[in-house]
Amino acid sequence: MTFWQMVIAFVIVYLCVYALIGRICQCIEHCATARAYSKFRENGVLVTMDAVEAGIEKSNKEKRDVGEKI
């Protein structure tokens, strides 16, 4: 194998491993989200996307307010 063939092979292997790790991390994240959502449902808490969005907006507003006070 020439030097350039080895470089190209290394780049291909690196990209494949990077993509595989990305997919595994995404799967872990989705599983954790599903578990958390099921715990909310078990406890009788109704979670809607509107409520989540409102919570995120409220959190961002509080962070901005704290930043302005400092």
59 vs 3, residue with greater confidence: 3
pLDDT tens across 15-44, in order?
Answer: 999 999 999 999 999 999 888 888 877 877
Q: Print the domain residue range for 20.
A: 3-69
d(CA 35, CA 47): 13
Q: Which two tokens stand for residue 23?
A: 């997919």
| Residue 45 pLDDT exceeds 90 | no
pLDDT score, position 70? 62
Q: Is residue 17 helix, strand or coil?
A: helix
Domain count, the chain: 1
Instruction: Give the residue carrying structure tokens 């470089």.
Output: 7
Q: What is the pTM of this model?
A: 0.56
Tell me if 70 sits within 8 A of 60, measured CB to CB: no
